[in-house]
Amino acid sequence: MQIKNVIYDGRGDLCDLLRAAGFRDNERLLVQVFSGISDLALINLIRAVMERHLPRAALVGATCTGEILDGCQTEKSVLFSFCQFEDTEIKVAGAECADSVALGERIGSCFRHSLPRALMTFATALTVNGEDFVRGIERCCPGVPIAGGLAGDLLQSDPGFVFSRNFISAGGAVAAGLYGDNLHVQNRYSLDWVPLGKELRITRAEKNRVHTIEDIPAAEIYARYLGHESPQLLPALGVHFPLIKTHQDTYVAYACIGKNDDGSLDFMGNMETGAYVRFGIGDTSTMLASAARHCRELTAWQPEGVFVFSCLARKMLMQSLVDKEVSYIHSVAPVAGFFTSGEFYSLPAGNQFFNYTLTIMALREGEAHGEPQPCPDVEIEVNPVFKALTHLVNVTARELEALAGTDQLTGLCNRRSTQEQLCKALENSRRYERPLALIMFDVDHFKHINDSLGHHVGDQALREVTGITRALIRRTDVLGRWGGEEFLLICSETGREGALELAERIRHGVEAAAGTSLRNTTVSVGVTVSRAGDTLDSLLRRVDEALYLSKKSGRNQVSCL
């Protein structure tokens, strides 16, 4: 496998440039074109010259916001990346469709009958929802590693072009499938944006449009945390402060790309109601440290070529340092790629659409030969001031959140915090189709305790009920004070039988607490388990009815609905 990159600046003879690259025309030559010039006439010229001089070679290309050439980045030029394979076969596909999932399926269906070892794919920004697109590909090509990203320039509202030898589109996608038992592929990525501050719950979202966060218009959330003038600076300001959520144990950042008159915001990638997000902030030294790590680990793997697709936001933050990030990787093998408006990637759990991320696809034909070359000394020290600042903000946010969410008497979650935990548990139960049980109990005749023995005795009784319950539950269970003498227990991964057994142990534990301020004190308990279609309200209503049934039936017992 041999890679050579050449730059065309729009001047001179393009035919001479292709001849000077030194590759003979053949079916195992992949030519990728990344153009920082979004000009239809130029793209058609490239296609015509390729047809005349390299008619058998595979061609895929995209317009972009910057080209990654070996150890540096360029702008407003055209990068030709020639990749000559020895044994690998190449198949190219292109498609258009207004629906992004269907577009991904159309691209994927071109390869489904014989799955490739890797898939390089590019789609137009603005017209294609990247998250839906890669999901559509996965339906047809499960387990196939993908790389690439969105063409065009979102900041300039340019959807861009994608093209192949026989296809060009401002509203579609192209892909090159690589086939061969001798081809080895390694995918790598790094985000390097750090979550900052408290978790915020998305309370209404449709696809990539977020209407409310914490029941507040999304633009007002930016005003609250980034300053009152920040909504007027969107979406430009949003590039520097993405929203970050955890998805399948991976941080995923979402760029704000548009503000609407109703206060809703549009993001790159889909955001679901119930998800929790935090603002993020980037640090250049962290990014360079990640590039150094990739350099070390790729050196041991010995790639013959590396394709890099990096987010435009990284380029904006790093500025001239982006050359250094790319040069580390180029020290291992030839590098080509472009700066994207969103990156395509494959995780073990499935295809992912990233923002703010450096993504890498390293290729090699055959096994590594001999000892790897020594890795260049590129160790980077993470900025201690940035590290200390993010630690300070996050610890302060956790302490304030804990203070705001804690019941002062019992030390348990208060009602607001308990409800937030229940929202998370219910969302996870739905998403992963796992059982969730809810147990609600309160102290019988609590008003009599307060009236006859005093509020200090009532307070002590609540603390002792708390201690007894804590000793019986798992660390993963969430116990909260729901109000007055009422408690709510959230038990994830728990079915009806387990919940009833735990509820009975709590009831018996309180009843058996002789010799304490709980003398002759009992609790009534209600139990329910989540069902298909449950909402937060329906779950709470059912467990409350179960508790009422225990009270109505004589107290000191467990009921389940």
Q: Could you read off the pLDDT of 194-244 as tens digits, one per residue?
A: 888 888 989 999 989 999 999 999 999 999 998 988 888 888 888 889 999
Confidence at residue 515, expressed as pLDDT on a 0 to 100 scale: 56
Contact by Cβ (8 Å): 185, 158: no
**Token representation of residue 408:** 């002062």
Q: Apex CA 33: angle with CA 30 and CA 34, to 5°?
A: 140
Contact by Cβ (8 Å): 458, 449: yes
pLDDT digits (tens, 9 = 90+) for 322-334: 888 888 888 889 9
Q: How many CB atoms lie within 10 A of CB 554?
A: 9
40 confidence band (pLDDT: 50, 70, 90): very high
261 confidence band (pLDDT: 50, 70, 90): very high
Which CATH architecture best describes the domain 405-560?
2-Layer Sandwich (3.30)
Whole-model pTM?
Answer: 0.74
Confidence at residue 82, expressed as pLDDT on a 0 to 100 scale: 96
Q: 154: left (phi > 0), else alpha (psi -120 to 50), else beta?
A: alpha
Question: In the predicted model, is pLDDT for residue 379 greater than 70?
Answer: no
- Residue 112 in 3-state DSSP? coil
Lowest-confidence region among 43-47, 370-374, 458-462, 530-534: 370-374
Rounded to an integer, what distance in angstroms lies between the CA atom of residue 364 and that of residue 85? 9
- Residue 88 in 3-state DSSP? coil
Which residue in 29, 82, 87 sits closest to 57, CA to CA?
29
pLDDT digits (tens, 9 = 90+) for 57-92: 999 999 998 999 887 888 899 999 999 999 999 999
Percent of the chain with pLDDT over 90: 60
Q: 74: left (phi > 0), else alpha (psi -120 to 50), else beta?
A: beta
Mean pLDDT value of segment 413-427: 90
CA distances from 255 to 129, 167, 312, 356 (A): 13, 30, 11, 8
Confidence at residue 389, expressed as pLDDT on a 0 to 100 scale: 75
Edge-to-edge, what's the strand order for the sheet holding 478-483? 478-483, 486-492, 436-443, 523-529, 558-560
Question: In the predicted model, is pLDDT for residue 30 greater than 90?
Answer: yes
380 confidence band (pLDDT: 50, 70, 90): low
Task: Delimit the domains of the chain by residue range.
Answer: 2-190+285-365, 193-282, 405-560
Question: In the predicted model, is pLDDT for residue 100 greater than 90?
Answer: yes
| DSSP result, 394-419 | HHHHHHHHHHHTB-TTT-SB-HHHHH
Question: In the predicted model, is pLDDT for residue 381 greater than 90?
Answer: no
